[in-house]
Structure formats: C-alpha cells, structure tokens
Structure 1
Amino acid sequence: MLFLHLSDIHFRASEIDRDDDPNAGLRDDLVHDVQLMRRRIGRAANAILISGDIAFSGTKREYDFAFSWLHSKLCPAAGCEIEDVFVIPGNHDVEWSQAAKPLHRDARAKLRSCDAKDADKFLREYLSDNFSAQLMFAPIDNYNRFAARFLCSIGPYDEAHPDIKPFTTRDWDMEDGSKLRIWGFNSALISDAQDSPNQMFVDPAGAQIQREYGVAHVVMCHHPYGWLKNGAGFRERIEAVAKLHLFGHEHTRRIEEGKHFTTIRAGAVQPDRDEPGWDPGYNWIGLSIGYEGDKRYLDAEIWVRKREGARFIAVPDHDQAETWQARHRLSEWSAPIVVDKPHVGATTVMTPPDEPKTSSTSVSARIVASKMFRLAEHVQRQIIVHLSLDQDGDQGLKDYEFVLAAVNRAKSQNRLPALNEMTDEALYGQGNK
C-alpha cells in the first residue's frame, strides 16, 4: 500500500488562476518530484492523503481550483484517480466570515474559557443539539462540498441519515486480507484569527476509537496534540490503538519514532513565504504486513521530501538513509477459513476464501459519487428521483448531502450499477465524458 501524504496547500483566491501566481513554480516542482519518486519507488500511489488546509480562506473558488489541480496535475503524477483522494479539514478550510457570526463567536468563547477536563462535555452538548451542531459546521460548508467528491464530507450526527458523521474513514485491503483503516478527525470545529496552542478542539469521537480484529488503524488530524485543548484523551486513545499518526499545521516534516506507533508530520506544500525557515515538503508512505516467525507487524517506509532550489530532495533518517523505516507489532490474525458443506459421508475440506469476484458492472460508491458531482444540481436530482433513491426526511439535507445519501442507498440496495449508468448517460449528454 502506497500513499502520497501532503498538507497545508493554502490555495489563495488572490493568487490562483494568475500568470504571476507566486507558488505556480513550486507546485510544478512538486508534481515533477512526485513523478520521479513514483518511478523510483516502482509503483503508483493507492491514494493521496491531505491532512488539512487545502484552501487559505475556505472559499468556493479556492476549492474549485484545488479540485482542478488535483484532477489534472497531482493525481496523474501519482498514478491514482481523483476519487482516491482522502481529505480532512484544517483551520484555513474554515470560512471565517461565517465563523465571525455572533452565535459562533459566543460558542468559541465558552469553549476556550472552560477547563480542559470539561471540554469534551461542553463540546458534546453543542454537537447533541441540532441547531448548535449545524452552527458549528456551517463555516466549513465550502470545504464539505469539495470533500464530498471523495466521500470525505463531515457533519453533525443525524438519526435519519446515519451515514453523516463528524469524522471520516476509509478502508484498504492489505496483502494478507486484513484491513487498513484511516480515520480522519476534524480539529477545526472552533477556529478564528485567534487560534493558538491549547485552544483548538478535536471531535470527541477521536478519543473513543476501538480495536477491531484484523484491522490496523491510522489516524489523521490537522492539529498536533499541543494545539488541542481536549487533546489528552484523544492522544491517549490513538497512541493505544493507531500505529501511524498523521498531522499537518506545523510546517515541519519531523518523524517521531516510537515502539508502538510513529508520528508523521506532512510539512507544508505552500507555507507562508514570510515565515522563518520557509521549507516546502511532503511525504510518501509505504505500508505492508511483515512477519517474524508467528509475530505479525505493520511495516512502514517513509520517504520525506523537501524543496531545495527548484527541486525536491530527500530528508534522510538518523543514519542518513533516504528511507525512514518503522515496524509496529500487530495482533495475531489469520484470514477466515471457508468450510465447504460436505455431502453425507464425505470428508470436510478446509479451503481459503475465493478471490473477490469482479465484473464489468461492479463499481464503487466513490466512483459514482465522483461522477455525480460533475453534473449540474438539477440533473443530479432528476436522476435520484427517477431511481427512487430519495426518501422522506431528505428535505433538510444540504445539496451535497442529498447526493451522498442517494449514493449510499444505491449501494445498500445493490443499485450502484443503475445509478452509474444513468450518470454516465447524463455526462455524455452534456459533453463531459
């Protein structure tokens, strides 16, 4: 499994789509290095992980540009599809004009003034009330419309729509049949120009993740622990459960090696040029299952890259090796055994499970959702209603939530091929193949 890991791209509305964009050359150097590293490593990325701050001011224009750059530049260089992107929000993904409204300002003041031991309790109170919960998520509406294209949008809990959660996850199959699960948590619930260490809040669900048989856990969060007022329980939990902890925000690429887990900071693709030690960077992360006798491990290879001049170079480990290595013990696990039902008098035969069957009609929810969001909103609704994928209670959903609810219903009803076919026909009809 191979991931491209980056953060803090900071697309600014005042700079993008201009010939004199001061970061255009930097992004070109990054894309070029991604192509070179892909060839050097010898395989394409399975996904691109972005640990927050895609935008600079959380505006729609910044996200439109971000999607275009990912689709036309970075994904082709990494060798993956646009739907393989996995994102979480950072403080720059908050639209501060929304966050400046009086009710939101009052909520920030109350939460930031409370004792750390009471932080999760007060936060749960806000998130348990529909009105206040919607208020807290309103400043990242533009981010969510962007993230929905990758099935990474987040929102307050909704009993009528259980797929909406304040965090996001994605699973990958490892080579031994076990699962790798990446959790994406929101640490920008409370954000404004006064953001400072010990004044940010991470979703309380992060302190409650649970072990699962055959699953290796990785956690992504934009803000490192020192920024989180309610970070003690979060840190304690993920250090006990997750083998890799991926962060953004602090524009460094430090690898913190531990016996039970490794902490990785992405660095910043486009740090502020006025900040001390301006030093753009990003990471490649390779993960695999390894064994020593009957002991099972998650093996990590990390290529840390930094810009020097007009090119990117390696940041070596303590022994000056180009690749950082980490190995963390996993619990015992073996692939399920399928017992063939014997005929009377026959011998029971134990066989491994068949390889997953694929067909020309198989399609993933992420692929269908990615296509749906290329259609005009009225066309999306026509398709959803035609296939009866809407239901009572959808009226209160936001536009992107309505599409995702329909995609999830199609998946649960085994109707993704039908939704995919109608979406393809609509895309062809509007000249967008």
Structure 2
Amino acid sequence: MISWLHISDWHQKSEAARGGRETAFARKEFLEKLIQDIKDRAEGVDRSLSKLDFVVFSGDLAHSGRRAEYEAALEEFLYPVLDAADVDLDKLFVVPGNHDVDRGALVSDMDGDFQSLSQSHEMDTYREKVSAILSHRTSRGKFLRPFDGFKEVLTGDMQVSFSRYDPRYFYRRTFEADGKKVSIVCLNSSWLSGLVSDTGGRVDDYGKLAVGEIQIHDAFRNMPRSDLVIVVMHHPLSWLKGQEANRVEELICKHSQFLLHGHQHVPRVNVSRSTDGDVVIIPAGAAFQERFPMDSRHVSSYNFVSVDPAAKSGTVFLRRWNDKRLKYTSDSDIWESGRFPFVLPELDRDDHSSRRNAMHGVEVAAAPYLNRKFSKATRLKISHAMREIGGFRVVEQHTEYTRDLKAGREPNFYLESWTDPFVLIKSEACPDIVPHRHIKLLIGEEEVLPVHDGGDVLVQRELGRNPVQVYYEYESQNPVLGVDTTKLNRFTEQFVLVLNKDPGLIYDISGVGGLDILEDEVEELNDGCVRVNLKRLLYPYQGVRVSWHPKDGSY
C-alpha cells in the first residue's frame, strides 16, 4: 500500500496583512485541529494511512512570496505537518503557486520577452515563444526571479537537495515505497502569474497561464521506469491558455496516473478518461480558509490518498473543516462517507485502446444493475427443522428476507421464488407436503399480495425514488439433502445471514459468483446458530449458498 498526504494553499500572511475575518486565533485553531486530524488518521480515517510515504504541498505556501512569510510558514505550518505525518523532509514535495510570486520582482510589462509573448495571438506562435523563453537560461531566469524566496527557503532553511534541478522551475524524484518505484514530477504553472491585469487593475490569470511543453518534456526526460507517476502543479488545467491547456493535458495523460493541484480552494476528485490515457485529478482544497467563507464550497480542506498497486485500486479520503463540531471530518457533503474510490490507471499506454474497450464491456454488463436501487443492507434469516411427512423426510424452512433499498428510481422491481423440483414431485404424491407458503410481503409499510406473473415471479411493480424497505417472509419444505442459494440481483453494501440449524443436519456455507467468505466474517452465536456478516460491496452475480445433509447419512 502506498499512501500520501495532499495539502495546499496555506497563504501564510504577515501580521500586518491579517485582517477582516481572518484572525490569528482562527488560523491557530484550524492548524491545531488539522495537526491532530493528521496524527489520528489511522484510527480516525483509515488503517491504510498509518504509514504515509510522502507529503505533497501543491502551492501557495506564502501569501505574497516574501521571505518572512516562508520562514513563518515553515515553523508554524510545514514542520508541524511533517511531524504529524511522520514523514522526513526528503519526502516533502512543494510547488510554487501564484501567491508564492514576489510581485516586486516581476518582469516589466515593457520587457521584450513578455511583449512578444502577450502579442502572440496564434496558438502555435504562442507555444513556440513559450518554449523559446523556457529553453533560454537568461530569459527563463527573468520569469523565475519572483520565486527566489521560494527557492532560498527550500534549499537554505530546509536544506532540501534538488541535485541538478531548479525548484523554481521543475524537479523530479524517484524513490521506493512499499517495494514499488514512485516518481513525482513537480512543475511550475505560476511563472506567468501576475503579469496581466483587468481594467480594474486586478490580477487576471485565468486562461492566460502556461506550463510549457518543454518544461514537461525536460521533467520527464530519462525518467526511470516507475510503478506510480504523479504530477504536481498549482493550477488546474482550465487556468492555462487555450490550446496550451489541451497540450499539457495530453502530455500528462500520456505519461502519468495522477495530477495533484491546488488553487481553486474547492475539494473534489475527477477521473479523466481520454484517448491519451486515464489520469486521476485531485485538488487539495485550501489548508486554511476563513471560518465563514462567502461560498460554502470554499471550506478548509485537504485529503489523503491510498493506492494498492497489486489490486489496481485506490481511495481518496476527503477531509474538511466542520464548524459545528470544531474539527476536521470526512467530507460527506461532496461524496458519501468522504471516500472516493478509483481504479489505478495503467502506465503502459501502448495497449490503452484494448484496455479501454475491455473496461467498456465490463461497464456495459454492469449498467442495468447500476440503474437499480442499491441495497444498503440485506438480511436473510433461515431457520430449519427436520421432520417426517407422509413417509418422507423433509426440512421445513422458515425464511425472512429484508432489503433496505437506497434512494434511486427503479421502474421494474420484481421478486422471485424458487421451488425445489424434488419437493414439487413429492408434493404431488403427498398433499401434506407444501413446497412454498407465503406469509407476508411488505414494500415499505404497504402489505402486498403476491401474484404469480408467469414462471416464479411473485410481484412486479415500480418503486419510487425514496429509500424503501422490502420484507418477505415465507415457509418452504426442502429435501434433507438440499441447498438454498441466495443470488443478489443488485449491488449490496452489506449482507447478513443468520442460520438456525437443525441438530440432525451438517451444514456448509459458501460464496457464489467469485465471493470468498472470510473466517472472521463467520460467527457462532450459540448452539445451532451461526451469523455471516459481509460488510463490503457485493455484486449482482454474487451470493451465498447454504447446503446440508443428515448426520446419519440417510436420505
């Protein structure tokens, strides 16, 4: 398991710059609760986060790029975060944001390179000039000078080694985590930030920024073969200029599996699927946001990410400030339980179309079930009593089947029954043998009389959009060498089986449809009673089979 902490947009201000609703008290309180939430991650969030492999900070450590802000941010914020995460400095990855720009060091709007760039209206010409600036040491240096304070703090105060890389521009590290090679590519999306203003004199960066194809090309050049590749930059792709955004997205999708960014202060997750490749895009939200933001989506937030390379899957654990509880909690406002699952994208793009077509086939097969109500919990209670009727030994079975269906429209809900052919034949010879006897069927609070509609369909109707409970109780008579198979016809988040056994029978409980029942999921409640509790998502083709036979061997 590979896990990390992703955080962004701390905006360390000087005391003189603090005002309005942002107070030193609020920042201190938020930080204390943030640190505690990070420390409590294994118990409070998920066990997979007990060991974090690295920390990503995706920009805006400072508020105005001043050295004093960085120094304060290190002592007040970054060092405590690393300590809480139990991660060393060499596993911290920081990129510059638009607030990490020292605006006093910006290039002049009369600068020749800037004038040439700003007057490039043809996208091909614009991209060529971006590449020309970034490939020329002197020209590039002018645009990176506003990040000198950012670099000095990382290389000086923090003594982070960047080898031949310049952290103001891009850098890359490859290391091992849980036996897998991880490469993290850090890019500067802010090097043109602050150079354009609107008619009111306010900075207008949206749609005017560039990463530069050459920056990405150089960052990925000679990168070792890796199991996990993560790109970090401050801005979302939508803030880049026109076709520049398309080209950067194309390159990131071709060469990486994750894009981590900050800036928008809005927590979310997006899995991008394209002809170039799949990538999981994860914004961090803002580490510190005013307590009562004008937009409720702009709340203090961050996330953890856990990836299981063997299972090709992962989870984003979304965390947000909860002002009612005065602590960080799961962000269930944007995703149920605050846990967003994803399939780990493949790095091998050579066979991407075949993999995507195969995945499409799986999705098409699942689509009919995805349009049915999910079962939050399905409970099945079976009670057995062996007896003799008309010279035949049978097993009388009392069944209670309860399904708590979640919200969602279902136009064609149906309930089916099944009768053992052996018992059906015996019932013809002995009228006292009754293969199936209805007791009660409740859909919500409404009792429904079952009507056979051909075959073994008991009831067929439309269910409303609201959550509803379906309860079905019946009795049946089965052979002493028998089996009862419950196959789910919908996605089920929890399945519980309680079996009251007859002392004269030997039982076996197993999963069907590829379902493995684990030892710790089976519990002997008392003599003759067993409970199987599956607290995980089960698929429509899966289920549980109960089989039995007499202890004395006679049938």
TM-score range (shorter-chain normalised) is: 0.5 to 0.7
Pair 1:253 & 2:255 matched? no
Asked if 1:228 corresponds to 2:248, the answer is: no
Structure-2 separation of matches of 1:190 and 1:215:
32
SS of equivalent to 1:261: strand
Letter paired with 1:172: F
Matching of residues 20-419 of structure 1 within 5 Å: 20-40=24-44, 41-42=46-47, 43-70=50-77, 72-99=79-106, 101-102=108-109, 107-114=113-120, 115-148=122-155, 149=158, 151=160, 162-164=164-166, 166-175=169-178, 177-192=179-194, 193-208=202-217, 209=220, 213-229=225-241, 230-259=244-273, 260-271=278-289, 275-277=294-296, 278-291=298-311, 297=312, 299-309=313-323, 310-316=326-332, 320-330=336-346
Aligned-partner residue type, residue 140 of structure 2: A
Q: Structure 1 CA distance, aligned partners of 2:332 and 2:212?
A: 34
Alpha-carbon deviation of 1:236? 0.6
Decide whether the 8 Å contact of 1:38 with 1:78 is kept in 2: no
| Alpha-carbon separation, structure 1, partners of 2:236 and 2:183 | 20
* CA distance 1:65–1:318, change in 2 (3 Å): closer
| 1:233-259 Cα distance to aligned partner (Å, 9 max, x none) | 110111122111111111111111245
State the shift of 1:288 in Å.
2.7
Structure 2: stretches of 5+ with no match in the other structure: 195-201, 349-555
State how far apart, in whole Å, the 1-side matches of 2:119 and 2:262 are. 25
Counterpart of 1:263 in structure 2: which amino acid?
Answer: I
In 2, Cα distance between equivalents of 1:111 and 1:274: 36
Q: State the alpha-carbon separation in 2 of the partners of residues 125 and 116 from structure 1.
A: 14
Question: Taking structure 1 as reference, are residues 282 and 16 closer, same or farther at Cα in structure 2, changes over 3 Å only?
Answer: farther
Between the aligned partners of 2:237 and 2:161, the Cα distance in structure 1 is 22
Partner letter of residue 56 of structure 2?
Answer: L
Q: How many residue pairs align between the two structures?
A: 317
More helix by share: 1
Q: How much does 1:112 deviate?
A: 3.6
Percent identity, aligned pairs only, is 20
Ranked by relative contact order (alpha carbons within 8 Å, sequence separation 6 or more), the top structure is 1
Distance in 2 (CA, whole Å) between partners of 1:329 and 1:107 is 39
CA deviation map 1:250-283 (0-9, x unaligned): 1111111245221111001123666523411000
Q: CA deviation at 1:198?
A: 1.0
Determine which structure has the larger strand proportion and give its number. Answer: 2
| Superposed displacement of residue 313, structure 1 | 1.4
CA–CA distance in 1 between the matches of 2:233 and 2:79? Answer: 26
CA distance in structure 1 between the aligned counterparts of 2:266 and 2:216, rounded to whole angstroms: 25
User: Does the 8 Å CA contact 2:258/2:281 hold for their aligned counterparts?
Assistant: yes
The CA distance in 2 between the partners of 1:150 and 1:181, in whole Å, is 21
Tell me the C-alpha RMSD between the 2 structures. Answer: 2.9
| CA distance in 2 between partners of 1:134 and 1:331 (Å) | 33
Cα displacement (A) at 1:121: 1.1
- Distance in structure 1 (CA, Å) of the matches to 2:117 and 2:133: 10
Question: Equivalents in 1 of 2:342, 2:231: separation in Å?
Answer: 16
In structure 2, how many angstroms separate the alpha carbons of the residues matched to 1:206 and 1:163? 12
Take 2:333 and 2:5, find their aligned partners in 1: how far apart are those partners? 18
